[in-house]
């Protein structure tokens, strides 16, 4: 039974290991945009920061919560955190991730999901 006094909250966390990550932020921004489009997310605001010598973080404030993308190019690692107050399940998130990274050489993808509804 759903508790009507608590909003639906779904959190999907992914740790993606790639063979190579370009140090420029354009690839990560493209991947984030693909996720946003594929999952039909509504961006309210976007901020980003580039770390020196490498790495970047993109934060998207969504009408349904947030999407964060962090990179460690020197390790070939990308961390993605999506929190929504809408019905998006782990399979949908995983499918969108695989589509967004389809042009990349993926070593591994680990996904954890938590739902409160």
Residues annotated as part of the active site:
65, 70, 85
Q: How far apart are CA 76 and CA 15, in angstroms?
A: 10
Cβ contacts of 75 within 8 Å, gap of 6 or more: none
Question: Which among 69, 8, 78 has a CA at the least distance from the CA of 43?
Answer: 69
Return the beta strands (E) in the chain as ranges: 9-18, 43-50, 56-62, 65-72, 77-84, 106-116
């Amino acid at each position: 039974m759903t508790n009507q006094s608590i909003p639906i909250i779904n959190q999907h966390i992914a740790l993606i290991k790639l063979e190579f990550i370009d140090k420029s932020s354009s690839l990560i921004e493209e991947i984030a945009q693909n996720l946003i489009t594929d999952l039909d997310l509504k961006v309210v605001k976007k901020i980003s920061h580039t770390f020196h010598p490498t790495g970047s973080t993109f934060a998207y404030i969504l009408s349904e919560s947030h999407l964060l993308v962090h990179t460690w190019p020197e390790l070939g690692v990308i961390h993605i955190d999506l929190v929504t107050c809408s019905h998006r399940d782990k399979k949908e998130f995983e499918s969108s991730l695989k589509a967004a990274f389809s042009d990349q050489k993926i070593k591994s993808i680990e996904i954890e999901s938590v739902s409160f509804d």
